[in-house]
Amino acid sequence: MTMTALVALGHHEELAMHVRAARTNGLTDDEIKEVLLQTAIYCGVPAANTAFRIAQRVLDELGERS
């Protein structure tokens, strides 16, 4: 729910932080992507596209550290 609100309000830096937190708290990449897919429906495709780019960058960074 927090990630969806951040997408809706355009808080991109906060979104990146919460994507990291979601992974730390056990969400899978697919679960995070599903949340962002739902944002496309309720917040609009442009907002969701930006969120996907941010999330992918964060997930790529986290994958490089593992």
Structure-block tokens of residue 8 = 């809706």
pLDDT per position as a tens digit, 12-43: 999 999 999 999 999 999 999 999 999 999 99
Q: How confident is the model at residue 3 (pLDDT cuts 50, 70, 90)?
A: very high
C-alpha pair distances (Å), 14 with each of 54, 57, 66: 10, 14, 22
What are the tokens at 4?
């969806």
- Residues 6 or more apart whose CB falls under 8 angstroms from that of 54 comprise 12, 15, 16, 19
DSSP character string of 23-56: HHTT--HHHHHHHHHHHHHHH-HHHHHHHHHHHH
Among the residue ranges 23-27, 30-34, 52-56, 62-66, the one predicted with the least confidence is 62-66
pLDDT band per the 50, 70, 90 thresholds, residue 66 = low
